Homo-oligomer: A and B are copies of this chain.
Amino acid sequence: MEFSGGSRLDPYVDRYAERTHGMTTSEIRALFAVANRPEIISMGGGSPFVSALPLDAIGEMTAKIVAERGAQALQYMGGQGDPRLRELICGVMALEGISASPDDVVVTVGSQQALDVVSRIFLDPGDVVIAEAPSYVGALGTFTQYQADVVHVQMDDAGLVPEALRAAIAQVAASGRRAKFLYTVPNYHNPAGITLVEERRDEIIAICAEANLLILEDNPYGLLGFDGPPLPALRARATEGVIYLGSFSKTFASGVRVGWAVAPPGVKEKLVMASEATTLCPVALSQYVVAEFLAHHPWQEQVKVYRELYRARRDACLDALAASFPTGSSWTHPAGGFYVWVTLPEGVDAKAMLPRAIQGRVAYVPGTGFYADGQGRRNLRLSYSLPDPERVREGVRRLAAVLDEEFEIVSTFGAGALDA
């Protein structure tokens, strides 16, 4: 018998759980394979530029941890994570106005695991998650695996629109379904590159409190703003009703897989039990490395290095878009983080175009993956975090050339010619 990677000949097909029916290969996943080919400029994955880290110093530091504290650093530990790291995390969060105790913190295997365990303890099949339109593809994938429905809420340049949030809550209630939380990335949104302005933050919190709706605040990029000090987190303005997710993937390194959740005590206990069932405990070695880096290296200087580096890449991206993209396209102007969200001219399908873009040696993530409801065909996400400014510029130029060809095809053969 022969298997071809699909499930057509899969003898187990009638035995899978119901939840697998929503499992589809994500665009980001398919891109990982392609992005590694050196001739392609990948503006796909949201990868930090870890080469900017002091790798020799981190290597030495890690060697010392293993040699001197290997008995702990290479061993299991408690499911809530290293107490010392949890204390240091409270110091990191203080920069965004959050006051929390190490007891409130659960260390996770990247904030993706935090998303998973929050979903696990709150979501029954058919429950609703309210999320920005568009929203982080990895979160949508997790909500789908828990068989929840996502209801999107419109953003404008100032972030989540309060009136649209009110309407979505009312609509879910009217349909007899149950919204369990609002999932939001308030700072330098993935994929939209938009930030929720300070004036709206209290209003969003008030709307959710009134509706008895938990807020799941996902904030991996908060310290990576280009224009002044970070905004106070939602969790800084409301200790009740907010579960906060943080990550070292963008401010330090994604390959150690260290993120965290902050939650009220009852929720926290359940998060720990859920993550124990998932991975037993977070990674001891990684936690020791991050704690050591926070405690004994000028880590805020490192964040500043990252910030300046990403600012230059953002500038390169926006300049190149303005110089080369066709009339009828538009894009967001991120004040931090990794992403520009592009809307293509009428008639162009970003997903159908991707294979031709890759042929043109540039990669991006098509917009549809960031919606649970089929929107986003004219959208794409560009990440400027990994390639240097010159490569960012070249990538955008290549993409503009691919777009020009799309228009040529349309003008010659009609719009239908572009379908995948």
* Chain A interface residues toward B at CB < 8 A: 3-7, 9-13, 15-20, 23-26, 29, 32-33, 45, 47-48, 50-51, 53, 55-56, 58-60, 62-67, 70-79, 109-110, 112-113, 116, 120-124, 127, 138, 141-142, 145-146, 180, 214, 240, 249, 253-257, 264-267, 269-270, 272-274, 276-286, 289
Contact = CB atoms under 8 A, between A and B. Distances in A.
Contacts of A282: 257
B138 A120 contact: no
A74 B277 contact: no
Closest 4 CB pairs of A and B: A10-B266, A255-B284, A59-B66, A74-B253
Contacts of A23: 121, 270, 273-274
| Max chain B Cβ within 10 angstroms of own Cβ: one of A48, A255, A273, A282 | A255
A113 B278 contact: yes
B142 A269 contact: no
Contacts of A289: 285
Contacts of A50: 70-71, 74-75
B20 A121 contact: yes
B240 A257 contact: no
Output the residue of A11, A17, A121, A273 with the most chain B CB within 10 A: A17
Contacts of A73: 255
Contacts of A285: 255-256, 285-286, 289
